[in-house]
């Protein structure tokens, strides 16, 4: 089975290793779209639901086994799709997500689970994105950005992030849009709009 819900809106996902600027650039894109009259629903994974909270707690209190992570991320995402993503797409909103199942391919993939089987398990119920904006920066630059905001958590080791970046790089799909995010915020925001040009209202990029 794959997702069969109505899709009048767009599903745009921001992905990348930690500290690449996903939440910053979702904010910029949201403003750009809302200024042009588009209804935007912004969300993130792991969510604030019960499964998502267990996952976030584990980043601080001690990492779960990879099987437990897979199980919890799938439960969290299923609930996210049912309660927020599918209804928003059905009514025509644009859904901007900070992480989705590409993160699971990268992060649980980096812990030894086959990324292709993770993708297949997710696509049984989760809508395939219209576009994934992969914000790419070198791991050293990401660690610098993470470092400047305080302690790193258990998901944020150098070896782990290097492995995750390789998984993102291995996804070759027309909807996987790599954006070089190792530049100032204004320039990266412009690159994001350029990458999404075909989707944007009136096809304009300013």
Ligand X SMILES: Nc1ncnc2c1ncn2[C@@H]1O[C@H](COP(=O)(O)OP(=O)(O)OP(=O)(O)O)[C@@H](O)[C@H]1O
Ligand Y SMILES: Cc1cn([C@H]2C[C@H](O)[C@@H](COP(=O)(O)O)O2)c(=O)[nH]c1=O
Q: Does 46 sit near ligand Y (CB under 6 A)? A: yes
Q: Does 149 sit near ligand X (CB under 6 A)? A: yes
Q: Does 19 sit near ligand X (CB under 6 A)? A: yes
Of 145, 152, 178, 190, the one binding ligand X (CB under 6 A) is 145
Least distance in angstroms from the C-beta of 112 to ligand Y: 13
> In which region does residue 161 sit, left (phi positive, over 0), alpha (psi from -120 to 50) or beta (all else)?
alpha
Q: Quick one: 62 or 184, whose CB is closer to ligand X?
A: 184
Of 9, 13, 15, 22, the one binding ligand X (CB under 6 A) is 22
Of 20, 47, 58, 108, the one binding ligand X (CB under 6 A) is 20
74 three-class SS: helix
Q: Which token pair is 48?
A: 């604030």
Q: What's the 3-state SS for 15-63?
A: ECCCCCCHHHHHHHHHHHHHCCCCCEEEEECCCCCHHHHHHHHHHHHCC
Which letter does DSSP use for residue 85 in this model?
Answer: I
Listed residue (131, 136, 135) closest to 196, CA to CA: 131
Number of residues lying near ligand Y (CB under 6 A): 10
Q: Which token pair is 64?
A: 């779960």
Write the CB contacts of 142 (distance below 8 Å, at least 6 apart in sequence). 17, 18, 19, 20, 161
Residues 94-113 that bind ligand Y (CB under 6 A): 99, 103-104, 107-108
Binding-site positions for ATP: 16-23
Q: Quick one: 45 or 136, whose CB is closer to ligand Y?
A: 45
Least distance in angstroms from the C-beta of 195 to ligand Y: 20
**Residues lying near ligand X in the complex (CB under 6 A):** 16, 18-24, 145, 149, 181, 183-185, 188
């Amino acid at each position: 089975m794959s997702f069969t819900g109505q899709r009048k809106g767009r599903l745009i996902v921001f992905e990348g290793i930690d500290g690449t600027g996903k939440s910053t650039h979702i904010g910029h894109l949201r403003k750009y779209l809302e200024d042009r009259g588009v209804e935007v629903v912004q969300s993130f994974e792991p969510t604030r639901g019960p499964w998502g909270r267990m996952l976030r707690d584990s980043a601080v209190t001690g990492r779960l086994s990879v099987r437990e992570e897979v199980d919890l991320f799938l439960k969290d995402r299923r609930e996210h799709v049912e309660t927020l993503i599918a209804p928003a797409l059905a009514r025509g909103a644009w859904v901007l997500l900070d992480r989705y199942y590409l993160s699971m391919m990268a992060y649980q993939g980096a812990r030894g689970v086959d990324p292709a089987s993770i993708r297949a398990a997710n696509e049984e119920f989760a809508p395939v994105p219209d576009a994934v904006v992969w914000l790419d920066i070198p791991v050293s630059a990401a660690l610098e950005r993470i470092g400047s905001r305080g302690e790193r958590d258990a998901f944020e080791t150098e070896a782990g992030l290097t492995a995750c970046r390789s998984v993102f790089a291995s996804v070759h799909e027309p909807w996987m849009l790599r954006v070089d995010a190792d530049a100032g915020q204004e320039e990266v925001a412009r690159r994001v709009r350029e990458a999404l040009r075909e989707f944007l209202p009136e096809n304009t990029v300013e």
